[in-house]
Each structure stands twice: as structure tokens, then as C-alpha cells.
Chain A
Amino acid sequence: MTSLLAGRRQPAISRGERPPGAVAQVAAVIAMRVSTLRGSARRRTLAGLAAIPLGAGGAILAGRALPGTGAQDALILMPTAWLAFAVLATVAAATAGGRELLPRAQAVSLPFSPAADHLGALLLAPLNIAWLIQALGLLTLTSWGLRDAPVPAAAQLVTVAWIVAVTIVAQTLGWVVELSRSTTWGTWTLRAGVLAAIVAAGTLSAVGRVGELLDRSPTVHFVTAAVSGSQGSYRGWGFALLELGAAAMAAMFCGVRLAAVVRRRPARSQARVEARDYPPRADARSDLAAALRIDRAGVWRSAPLRRGLIALAAVPVLTALALRLDWYLIAILPGLVAAGAGLLFGVNALSLDGSGAVWRETLPGSPRTWLTARLLVVAEVCVAGAGPAALVAGARATSAPMTAEVIAVLGATVACSAQVVGRCAVWSVTRPYAASLREARDQPAPPAAMAGYSARLAVATTATGLVFSVLARLQLTEAAVAAAVAIGIIGVRRAVIAVRRWEDAEVRGHVVTTVSGT
């Protein structure tokens, strides 16, 4: 048989060369991702990436500019802040998505190694706004606490080493958790661990031994080393750096191995959801109720969303249990939770339908009802996360509340939820992405987009939380009500504008074909 390629010049494909390593694989995927960005999205992404080192420099300078009278307090706070960073980095890696440079479904047809997968997860960690803010906070705190030390750079070196080592260890623990979820035994062990953590936090808080425990935190050792380094004493400092380096390397090695094992395991939690029967329910009483029912099922039957939702409610509750907050500080909590709730799926809410978005578009229902139901579910998730946190924090507060403080907490919950829903509505309609939200590490938008969304939501809701915190402190009840109404109206107005856009058939056609990946 004559070859169809006879007479044509064969392309030069070399198959015998050594395949590219993890770094080259990650670089190739990043280059591909950057090449898909166009115009303002490309500029925003590059500006965002450049902002990370600039932010680090700014955080150090800010610490040096802070008043020296508070330096001693900053120094005392450092071990607790370092511990909090470790806890949140681990929780983020274990519960949330955003650790996947190349989604599993895309990676199956590419020679993307577990080492590259792990390296990708490490590189994506700074794109998590909670990680970033905390890391910058540690740099500021070190700079502030040791502003008058002879060699502050030595202390910053330990801080950076702590941030790097903890991030690598946290990502490795993330793989351990993912691996545990792939077996029944592991799943129950994890649940028992979480329950034990809640009970321990509650007990320690009830007997008033949280402070004592924090004083014995292992972070004290590293902070002491940082302080001695800043004073020109390098023995303990060097040893601490060696310890952190060794921990980082060991975690890196284990992380690669664990990533390989996780890749070979089936996604058990999702398989369980997909294999079970969901008994039919009676017909819904209205179109909105029918849409709400299918949307809520879309959240609760998705393993990553359900897990994220539970973590979103549990982490602030645990924090509130462990720390007795003043009422004016409780007003900041709802904003932080609401921003996290939006990031679960709200920023790309229409992706919840997956390829079914095209089918839903062919049904003779009102587009307004469809999107309204979706936004109500986003709002429910915000309130379901923020409500318990505020309640527990209120129950554990240092004192009985004044009316203004209660109103401020309620106002912050309403205002931040409305803010998140409004922004999510606009983004969902104007910047849709295809997202399956099926596997453990799936997230509603690509990593760079998620970083942008998380930054914008965090800034907006934290600012709102601070406003209500100040109003609570100043006992301004009427002002808190007015602020809640005003911010709520702005959020609702954004949502209404998004719904109007959604009613345009052309916009809807673009969104449904994008989220359905067709």
C-alpha cells in the first residue's frame, strides 16, 4: 500500500529524547494559560502577578513605618500569627479548590507528571487571597516588631522561610486529605478529626486555656530564632532555617509521591454521589421553586461545593469558639465568610448547570426566574455561612451586646451578602467559564480569574465589615441600619442590572454555550 504521506517531508518529531521535567511541564502549561488571555484580562493578570512581590516590599515598608509604641505588642503577637498562617494554609489546601494548574480531565491526555501537579499546586497557593493577606501580614508584623533591631533582614528571612515551608507542608497535607477521602476508613477518620478539633477548641475556650496553649506553640521557637537573628546572634537562627529547609524538602518529596498515589485513586466521594438514588419529590409549586430545587441540588450534590460550604461554616465557627471576640470585631466576620461563599461557585454561578445550560435555555421558562433562583441560592450560601459564625461568636463574645452592636452584625451580614450576590451576578453574566465543579479540586473559574475575584470580594466585604465594626464601636444604631440599607440596595441594583442583561437572548446564548463548553 502506498503511504498517503509518500513524497511529503516528514515533520521532525523526536521521541527518543528525555521528556521535560516538572518545571518545564509547569512552564508550558503557564505559557499556554497566559497565551489564552486577551486584552484587559491579560493586563489584569500580569499586573496582579507583579503586585505580589511589590506587595511584599510594601508590607515590609509599612511595618517599618508603623509607630514604635506598638512594636512590643507586634512581637508578642508574632507566634500566634505564624500559627494562624499555618492553620489557614492547611485548611485552604485541604478543603478548597484552586490547587489545580491543569484540571484532571485535561491532564489525562497529557504527560503531566505528579511532580508537576504538586509544583503547580505550590505555585497557585499565593493566588489564594487568604494566603496572600496572611503572608503579607506576617512580613508587616516582623518588620514592625523588629523595626529597631540591628539586622531586621535576618528575621525577615526566617519569616519567608516559614511561609515557604508551611505552604509546602500544607499542600502536602492537602494531598493526604485528598487521599484519605478516597477510602471509607479515611473519610471517617477525617470526620472524626474535624469533630475532635471542634470539641478541643470548644473545651479549651470554655476552660480559658487558649492563651496558655498559644504560649506553648511551636512557632515560638521559630519567632525566637528570628528575633535572635535580627540581634546578630546567628546560631539559633541558622538552625531554625535548616529545620525549615529540611521540613520543606521532606514535604516536597512526600507531596510528589502522594500526588502520584492520589492520581491513581478513584474520586470516591463523587462516585458515591453519582451512584446513589435520589427519590423523586412532589412537583414544585412555582417555576421559581422548581428552579431553586434543581439549583440547590446542584450545590449539595457536588463534592467540592458541599465540602467548601461545610468548611466555610466550620472554620469561622471554630475561630469564634477558640477566641472570645468583642462585638465590634464580630461585625467583620460575615464579610469574610460571604466573600468565601461567593468564591465557591457564585462568581460563575451559571456554570452550575454545566452542559445542561443549553437544555435549560430551550425550555419555555423565564430567563429572569432562572437567574433569580441562582442568585437566591448564592445568597443562601452567604447567609448560611455567615449566620452560624456570627451566632457562635456572639454567644462567645466578651460581653453582652448593645443594640447597636447586634444591629451592626446583622447589617454586616445583609450588606456583605448583597454585595457578594450583586458582584457575582454581574461576573456570572459577563465573564462565564466552563467548569464542571465535580472533582475535589475543581473551581468555578481559572486560577488567575479566581485570584482577581477573591481579591475584589475580600477588599469589598472587609471594607464593609470594618465600616460596621466602627459603627458598632461608636454605638451608631441608625447609621448601621442606613449603611445596611444603602449597601444592600447597591448590591441588589447590580443583581437587577445583571438580570436585565441576562434577558438579552444574545448574552444568554453566549453564556450558555460558554458554560456548557460547546
Chain B
Amino acid sequence: MQVTPPPRPLPDLTIEPAVEVRDLRVRFDTVDAVTGVDLSVAPGSAVALVGRNGAGKSTTLRVLAGVLPPSAGLVRVAGVDVRHDPLAAKRVCGYCPDVGGLVPRATPWEHLQLAARLRGMAGWEPHARDLLEQFDLAHAANRVTAGFSHGMGRRLSVVLAAFHAPAVLLLDEPFDGVDPLGVEATFDLISRLRDSGTAVLVSTHLIELATRVCSEAVVLRAGRVVAAGPAAELAGADGAGRYRQLLA
């Protein structure tokens, strides 16, 4: 894995990337959260976004999801410019935020109902039931999420992000506090969506899980990309050592 300058991961230049980020900058008052990120994810591929706390991973995903507007740079998802057409970008993206992300006094079914309504989905109920079953949430489908454990909340956030089979799936810490069965369900879901052409971007601190589910990895440090390459290079003891070097 190269350290600097960061290469732009473009696996196949003949395919238009599902996620295209060029020189992304995000500034909060006096703080530069992202200082020039370049990123590209092809349809059907999965890229891990890794780095230390405060490296800019979550902020980058929030910009892609349309939650935060970029201060500068180009951000496209499925060919849609997030800055110029945020509503269209939200239609093609599915986003699981890093923390919470659930309306506390609404049930999972009510979350899905609202999402289906705003995404114009018809006949969504059987699909929703299947997803809740896969993530072991069917028994809690009609309970308010305020009473959920952290892991249940994470699993529901993944379900909500993937519910409409988006062209771009953005998962921020989807494995955090999730039990092994939940992790397997997330793996299966990512695999199925990739097969159908969804581009997946996963931000996580759990490198071993990231290397299992993603083909490529991008390392962020202090708001910029410091390395990019095959995720397998970060696997195992050697990979962990390499990763620590990149973070230092």
C-alpha cells in the first residue's frame, strides 16, 4: 500500500463510478474536517473507509448521504451531483449513520413505512418483513426503537439503509456492538446488493471485518486520503502492522 501521494482507486475506467469524490473539503467554522478527499467506488464493488477517530470518515459519508453539504469539491453518487441535486442523490443512496440514526419513539415498521412512502415504493411489505427476519428484528417490528439495545439499533439502521436496494450503500460503523449473527446478516446483505450492482462504502474500525467484506480499502488521516489499495493488504498481522504505520 502506497503512503503518499494517495492514488485514486479507479478499478475500471470504462465503467462510470457509482461514487465519485474529487477534492472534497468540509469545514465547520474554524475546523477543517475533510481537507481534500478523492475517492471512487465502482458499481458492484465494496470499499472500506478506515482511519483513526476524527480522520474524516463519517463526515465524508455524511456528505455522500446528503446530510452535510460539501464546502468544496465534486461529489457524485450514481451520476448525481450531491450539491446540485441533493434530493435525487438521496433517492439513490442508502445510509446507516455511525451513531443512533433512529427516531426514538417510532417503531421499525413505522420507519420502513415512512421510508417507503418518501421513496415511492409500492408492495414493500413482504421485502421489509424479510429484511427484519434476516436481521432478527421481526419480533421487535412494532416496538419503539428507544427501548432497543445498541446492537439492535445498529442492525435496524443497516436494514433501513438497504431497504430500497440503493445504487450506493453507505455504512458507517455497521458492525459496532453487533453480535456475530448480525455481522453475518450484514455480510450477506452487502454481498447480495453488490451482486445486483450496488456500490458499497463501509467505514469501520474493525479492520478484520472490513477486509472480509470489502475488496479495496482507503485510509484517511487528518481529513485526507493517505493510502488506497486492495483491502487484503490490511488483513492479518502484517496488514495490521502496515495499517498502524499508516495511522501514525
| Bound Cα distance from A364 to B111, whole angstroms | 14
> B113 and A283: CB pair below 8 A?
yes
Closest chain B residue, CB of each to CB of A506: B69
> In the complex, which residues 340-390 of chain A have their Cβ closer than 8 Å to any Cβ of chain B?
353-356, 358-365
- Cβ contacts under 8 Å, A365 to chain B: 118
Residues facing B in A258-316 (CB within 8 A) are 270-271, 273-280, 283-284, 287, 290-291, 293-294, 297-298, 301-302
A354 to B99, CA, bound (A): 11
CB distance from A440 to the nearest CB of B (A): 14
Q: Are B65 and A287 in contact (CB under 8 A)?
A: no
A518 and chain B: residue at smallest CB distance: B99
Cβ contact within 8 Å between B147 and A278: no
Residues of A within 8 A of B105 (CB): 273, 297-298, 301-302
Contact at B87–A279, with CB atoms within 8 Å?
Answer: no
- B157 at the binding interface (Cβ < 8 Å): yes
Within the complex, what minimum Cβ distance (angstroms) separates B215 from chain A?
A: 25
Cβ–Cβ contact B68 & A509, under 8 A? yes
| Residues of A within 8 A of B (CB-CB), count | 43
Query: Chain A's nearest CB lies how many Å from the CB of B9?
Result: 24
Inter-subunit contact A277/B142 (CB<8 Å): yes
Are B147 and A274 interface neighbours, CB within 8 A? yes
* Shortest beta-carbon distance from B89 to chain A in Å: 8
Q: Is A359's CB under 8 angstroms from B160's CB?
A: yes
Contact residues in B for A280 (Cβ distance below 8 Å):
107, 109-110, 113, 141-142
Chain A positions 420-442 with a Cβ under 8 Å from a chain B Cβ: 436, 438
Contact with A along B111-151 (1 / 0, CB 8 A): 10111111100000000000000000000011111110000
* In the complex, A194 has a CB within 8 A of chain B: no
Closest chain-B Cβ to A120's Cβ sits at a distance in Å of 25
Which B-chain residue is minimally distant from A277 (CB atoms)?
A: B142
Complex CA–CA separation, A364 to B69 (angstroms): 15
CA distance A278 to B107 in the complex (A): 7
Interface residue tally of chain B, by bracket?
Answer: 35 or more
**Alpha-carbon distance A277/B147, docked complex (angstroms):** 11
Please name all residues of chain A whose beta carbon is closer than 8 Å to the beta carbon of B93 when the two chains form the complex: 362
Q: Within 8 Å CB of B116, what residues of A? A: 283
User: Nearest chain-A residue to B124 (Cβ)?
Assistant: A283
Contacts of A506 in B (CB 8 A): 69
Residues of B within 8 A of A505 (CB): 66, 69, 86
Interface residues of A in 148-192 (CB under 8 A from B): none
Query: CB of B175 within 8 A of chain A?
Result: no
- Contacting residues of chain B (90-106) with chain A, CB-CB under 8 angstroms: 90-91, 93-95, 97-106
Interface presence of A516 (CB below 8 A): yes
Pick from B69, B106, B142: contact of A509, CB below 8 A. Answer: B69
**Taking the complex as formed, is A512 at the interface, i.e. its CB lies under 8 A from any CB of chain B?**
yes
Q: Is the CB of A363 within 8 A of B114?
A: yes
Q: Using A290-B113, A290-B114, A297-B110 as known contacts, say yes or no to A359 and B142 having CB atoms under 8 A apart.
A: no
Query: For the complex, is B206 an interface residue (Cβ under 8 Å from A)?
Result: no
Q: Which of B86, B88, B100, B144 contacts A274 (CB 8 A)?
A: B144
Q: List chain B residues, Cβ under 8 A from A353.
A: 103-104
Query: B247: CB under 8 A from chain A?
Result: no
Which of B62, B105, B142 has the largest count of A CB atoms less than 10 A from its CB?
B105
Q: Is the CB of B147 within 8 A of A271?
A: yes
Could you tell me which A residues sit within 8 Å of B by CB distance?
A: 270-271, 273-280, 283-284, 287, 290-291, 293-294, 297-298, 301-302, 353-356, 358-365, 436, 438, 505-506, 509, 512-513, 516-518
- 22 CB contacts below 8 A, A to B, read A276-B143, A278-B107, A279-B142, A280-B113, A294-B103, A298-B103, A298-B104, A301-B105, A353-B103, A354-B104, A356-B106, A356-B145, A358-B101, A359-B157, A360-B103, A361-B66, A362-B65, A362-B90, A363-B118, A364-B119, A518-B97, A518-B100
- Which 10 residue pairs of A and B lie closest in terms of their CB atoms, listed nearest first? A355-B100, A274-B147, A356-B103, A301-B105, A365-B118, A364-B90, A509-B68, A277-B142, A354-B104, A505-B69
Given contacts A279-B142, A363-B115, 16 further A-B contacts (CB under 8 A): A273-B105, A277-B142, A277-B143, A290-B118, A298-B103, A301-B105, A359-B97, A362-B66, A362-B93, A364-B87, A505-B86, A509-B67, A513-B62, A513-B67, A518-B98, A518-B99
